[in-house]
Chains A and B, each alone.
Chain A
């Protein structure tokens, strides 16, 4: 196959910007997995909810999605905290398989509620900057994608700093590996679970705000992302922060190159081929050390 760099480079850059969003969504998922040891099936539905929230903040209140980050991140943190503390925890009685079912149930409820409230109409917002492009000399990249890229990376860096340097971060890492030990130093494990779920949900809200200017929202929009996020988490090694970040970026590039060579509609094919190959040959993930 002919390699045309004037096409290839923009495609890679485009892929990296999408990949940063994938990474951010996957970081939330992998954080929750690493600490609560469950796959949060409601993750995509919460993303959808955040996209609608950003959409209505823009159309009804005129708040730009990039400004809405400051509102939706705390709001979705509180939502996630409350969901874990007052819905998932009490209904699952501490059993992992129950938690799984409760998050699945939550996803179904949120999705159908969205369908009922907002119908399946595809909605987009028109911003003044939606079609602005930045000329990098060798490629033109839409401005909102560049903002999304740096916004997602900045949020990921904040998350990393939180986990690495704060008391809460230490408590989260402690609970992830040694629940009883954590209890014995006085950590309230249920609180840490809820904080973790809140942070994971906040990451999804940030992703939604960065995504909306170049994307659309429907009640089903979460599925596309959550599948990619699962792939990202598996590829990066379950529960691994750096793994999720690199895997997200990689998958963004794979999708973009797939779109370039196979046609737009088959762009995601490569992602799922990778997903299956990873599950077959490296179930611990590309970057994962432990089985």
Chain B
């Protein structure tokens, strides 16, 4: 198993946010975590990628206990988090942003990674020396994902990649996620876009108030009356 999370608890100060989450992701599959604003999706991502320590519980990556390791160690291991709000480096140009994506991978691999990133995102290639802060919102989102791919992820965590994109770009984005996944890496897709996420995910978890209230194969969840009522208004 690529990622195993066991009864994970975390919060800010004394306020609990995640209340005992267990989940698993295998290579080559897209797993969706769905939930409303404030459910704790980004907090889960931050804990998994080592940006904040968990209160309790266990995280195992490729069978190795990684609970509480820092972000640099997780990137090194191959767990890469493309965060909410892009978090690109606005003062650096596109190429520099991408190169920093391979910060932990060494120069020879960086060149190959860059070629592959430009292959997937030809639009970025036309803008290599443009300051990232001057890219359009959609281009910034692509850069953020491309930067994540530069780190050679085995597991890619995407936090609301469709946020702020036009319907056409959203379509493109979900297609892209499927395509990346076909290369054999695992993807943890955190979304509010329930229908489209379930369409490409193999399994999904519904996060409400820091706990999973529903989980199972995506196809089964699509038929679930509880989910239909809560998220699709049916």
The complex places the Cα of A177 from the Cα of B90 at a distance, in Å, of 7
By a CB distance below 8 angstroms, the chain A residues around B50 are 183
Docked CA distance A174–B100 (Å): 9
Instruction: Tell whether A114 is near chain B: CB-to-CB under 8 Å.
Output: no
The reply to whether A184 and B89 form a contact with Cβ atoms under 8 Å apart is no
Given contacts A170-B96, A180-B51, A180-B83, contact A185 B101 (CB under 8 A): yes
CB-based nearest B residue for A184: B81
Q: Tell me, yes or no, whether A23 is within 8 Å of chain B by CB.
A: no
On chain B, the number of residues with a Cβ less than 8 Å from chain A's Cβ atoms is 27
- Knowing A180-B83, A184-B81, say if A171 contacts B100 (CB, 8 Å): yes
Q: Within the complex, what minimum Cβ distance (angstroms) separates A109 from chain B?
A: 31
Cβ-based interface call for A173 (8 A): yes
* Cβ distance B31 to chain A, nearest Cβ, rounded Å: 20
Q: Tell me, in angstroms, the Cα distance from A177 to B131 when the chains sit together.
A: 13
With A170-B99, A180-B51: A186-B151 Cβ-Cβ less than 8 Å: yes
Within 8 A of A (CB), among B58-108: 70-72, 75-76, 80-83, 87-92, 96, 99-101, 103-104
Tell me which residues across on chain B come within 8 A of A178, comparing CB atoms. 87-90
Please state if A185 and B91 are interface contacts (CB–CB under 8 Å): no
The interface residues of chain A lying within 8 Å CB-to-CB of B192 are none
The secondary-structure label for the interface of chain B is loop
Inter-chain CA distance A187–B105, complex, in Å, is 12
B92 → chain A, closest Cβ, in Å?
6
- Chain B residues closer than 8 Å to A180, beta-carbon distance: 51, 83, 87
Closest to B133 in A: A177
> From A179, which residue of chain B is reached at the shortest CB distance?
B87
Q: Is B49 an interface residue (CB 8 A)?
A: yes
Q: Which residues of A contact B83 (CB under 8 A)?
A: 180-181, 184
Judging by beta carbons under 8 Å apart, are A170 and B92 in contact? yes
Q: Does A27 contact B (CB under 8 A)?
A: no
The answer to whether B89 touches A173 (Cβ under 8 A) is yes
> Nearest Cβ distance between residue A205 and chain B, in whole angstroms?
28
- Min distance, Cβ B146 to any Cβ of chain A, angstroms: 12
Q: How close is B233's CB to chain A, nearest CB, in angstroms?
A: 34
Pairwise interchain contact A177-B91, C-beta atoms closer than 8 A: yes
Residues of chain A lying within 8 A (CB to CB) of residue B72: 183, 186-188
A247 CA to B214 CA, complexed, in Å = 62
B100 and A183 within 8 A (CB)? no
Give the residues in chain B near A177, CB-CB below 8 Å. 89-91
Q: Contact: A183 with B51, CB < 8 Å? A: yes
Task: Tell me the bound Cα distance from A170 to B102 in angstroms.
Answer: 12
Interface code A152-178, partner B: CB below 8 Å = 1, 0 otherwise? 000000000000000100110110111
Contact between chains at A185 and B76 (CB < 8 Å): no
We find that the number of chain A residues with CB closer than 8 angstroms to chain B is 17
Chain B residues with CB under 8 A of A176:
91
Interface secondary structure of A, over-half rule: helix
Tell me if B147 counts as interface (CB < 8 A to partner A). yes
What 0/1 pattern do residues 101 to 124 of A give for CB contact below 8 A with B?
Answer: 000000000000000000000000
B92 lies within 8 A of A173 (CB): yes
How distant is the Cα of A173 from the Cα of B150 in the complex, in angstroms?
A: 19
B147 with A185: CB separation less than 8 A: yes
| B76 to chain A: closest residue by CB | A186
Complex interface: chain A residues within 8 A of B104 (CB):
185-186
Q: How near does chain A come to B131, taking the closest CB pair, in angstroms?
A: 11
- How distant is the Cα of A174 from the Cα of B102 in the complex, in angstroms? 13
B residues 33-61 in Cβ contact with A at 8 Å: 49-51
A180 to B51, CA, bound (A): 8
Known contacts A167-B103, A171-B100; A184 and B87 CB within 8 A of each other: yes
A180–B50 Cα gap in the complex (Å)? 11
Q: Judging by beta carbons under 8 Å apart, are A183 and B71 in contact? A: yes
Say yes or no: A184-B96 contact (C-beta < 8 A), given A173-B91, A177-B89, A177-B90.
no
Q: Closest residue of chain A to B91, judged by CB?
A: A177
**CA separation between A173 and B103, bound complex, in Å?**
14
Contacts of B100 in A (CB 8 A): 170-171, 174, 182, 185, 187
In the complex, A256→B91 CA distance in Å?
Answer: 36
List the 6 closest pairs (A to B, CB-CB), nearest first: A186-B75, A181-B87, A186-B104, A183-B71, A186-B72, A174-B89
- List chain A positions with a Cβ less than 8 A from chain B: 167, 170-171, 173-174, 176-178, 180-188
Give 13 pairs: A residue, B residue, CB < 8 Å, sorted on A. A170-B100, A171-B100, A173-B89, A178-B87, A181-B88, A182-B100, A183-B51, A183-B72, A186-B72, A186-B103, A186-B104, A186-B151, A187-B72
Q: Which residues of B contact A (CB under 8 A)?
A: 49-51, 70-72, 75-76, 80-83, 87-92, 96, 99-101, 103-104, 147, 150-151
Known: A170-B99, A180-B83, A186-B72. 12 other contacts (CB 8 A): A173-B92, A174-B100, A178-B90, A180-B51, A181-B83, A182-B89, A183-B51, A183-B71, A184-B49, A186-B71, A187-B72, A187-B103
